[in-house]
Amino acid sequence: MRNRLLAFAFVFAALTGAAFLYQSVNPPVSSAQNSGAITAQTPPAASSAAPSSSVPSSPAPALTAPRQGFDYGRAKLENERNTVEIVQAYDSGIGFITAKTMSAQSDCDPTDLRCRFLQQQQGGAQQGTGSGFVIDDTGLMLTNNHVVTLETETVGKLTVKFHNDPKTYPATVVGRSPAYDVALIKIDAPGKKFTPLSMGDSDALKVGQKAIAMGNPFGLEFSVTEGIISATGRDFQGSNGNLATNVIQTDAAVNPGNSGGPLLSSAGEVIGINTAILSPGTQGSGQGQFAGIAFAVPINLVKSILDDLKAGKTLDQGTLGSSRPRLGIGLQSMDAYPDNLIQQYNLPRTGAMITNVEPNSPAAKAGLRASSKNAAGTDFNGNPIQAPINGDVILKVNGQDVTSVTDLQRIVFSTKAGDSVTLTISRGGKELEVKVQPQVITTK
């Protein structure tokens, strides 16, 4: 009888994009168990068969008892000491945030308990958990916008609990930025001594640097993971479109519930706010699972809007565009140009063409030139188009390549009052450098 071949089918979940990291607490997460007892095994008895190799085999090393006097409470490696010191210094500044949305108004008779119970089961208030970190002595805490909105619905009740503190404190939203997925909340805890975390410089990050993530994954109060900075400058959007570009990528394990928690450097400084993951398991389970790729909003981006958040503002894309420093130009990414126009007019293949310059704007004062001619061409689908061809093309900003319009916007929006940016432009086939001072431009 013929031997039957066993068929093995490998099923991979589709990569569906970003999974935001607030943890829904319905259904509840089962308790984690630690069953990893270590058992010493006796080496197997020697075989009577002759060895197949002429080289004599070495005996298996004997298992020995731990060295006398070894201090397991003290880390021996420099990296261990660094991580332990950071955790011990800042663990009490990490908040475990619980958010509840306002439930829909009940149409039940207040005395009809059965009606009210059934209505709650069919769609009452949402509840989720996330993380945050204290930034000053008054109890201001940074977290993610999606933690305090729970899938765009405004949170009605917000509470915060700290590591090694049995109390739970109420909190309120001060300001938020849906565009950057950042929120600032205020904890109501009179007399409590807070442990603020210091904010570092995310622009100075190098790929390969150490990264430490702190937060509350899957509703487990306080957890620490460690990895590296895998990449910087990622242009990335979440599933709802509200996530900052130029995000930090890390392989430090983060999971639902880590949202809003800090990503720290080996200096113990916050370099980003953990926000989202790319998760192969999202489609099958509806719940994101860590797969080695996590994203954090750079802390320098957060610092650039912190004063607005403290002032109680809500910063969506439109508000940011009108309240942040600008150059006063319109742009068209060169990657949208078909090859026939690139070759015919000797245009750069990367960068952004200036399509218009606003009068009296920083760009106008710096002498930047907008395109005054359009050329007919065909797009990638063969459809006729008209494209600007003789404007300045911005190739770099502060030495960084401009591959899309968002590259330029990101750097310009993050400039402070009085700062200038250096643009490398292509004009008539020649490269020039132009200094421009971005300004907030008010429209009347």
The answer to whether the beta carbons of residues 249 and 231 sit under 8 Å apart is yes
Cα–Cα distance measured from residue 221 to residue 98, given in angstroms and rounded to the nearest whole number: 11
Do residues 177 and 309 touch, judged by C-beta distance below 8 A? yes
Do 346 and 429 meet the contact criterion of CB atoms below 8 Å apart? yes
Residues 378 and 185: their CA atoms lie apart, in Å, by: 51
Catalytic residue among 181, 251, 308, 407: 181
CA 198, 199, 203: angle at the middle one, nearest 5? 150
* CA–CA gap between residue 256 and residue 19 (Å, rounded): 8
Of residues 24, 131, 146, 230, which has the active-site annotation? 146
SS3 string, 393-423, reads EEEEECCEECCCHHHHHHHHHCCCCCCCEEE
Cα–Cα distance measured from residue 122 to residue 113, given in angstroms and rounded to the nearest whole number = 14
- What residue has token string 């702190």? 214
Residue 426 annotated to the active site:
no
Instruction: Confirm whether 163 is a catalytic residue.
Output: no
The string of DSSP codes covering 27-51 is: SPPPPP---------PPPPPPSSPP
Q: What is the dihedral of CA 92, 203, 417, 311, to 10 degrees?
A: -30
Spatial separation of the C-alpha atoms in residues 285 and 294, rounded to whole Å: 18
Identify which of 401, 258, 238, 394 has the alpha carbon closest to the alpha carbon of residue 327: 394
Catalytic residue among 230, 259, 404, 414: 259
Q: C-alpha distances in angstroms, 239 versus 17, 23, 278, 311? A: 7, 16, 10, 28
Q: Look at the block and give the residue holding tokens 């990895």.
A: 227
Phi and psi at residue 283, in whole multiples of 5°? -65, -40
Select from 148, 149, 129 the least CA-distant residue to 218.
129
Nearest to 259 by CA among 307, 292, 294: 294
The residues assigned a catalytic role are 146, 181, 259
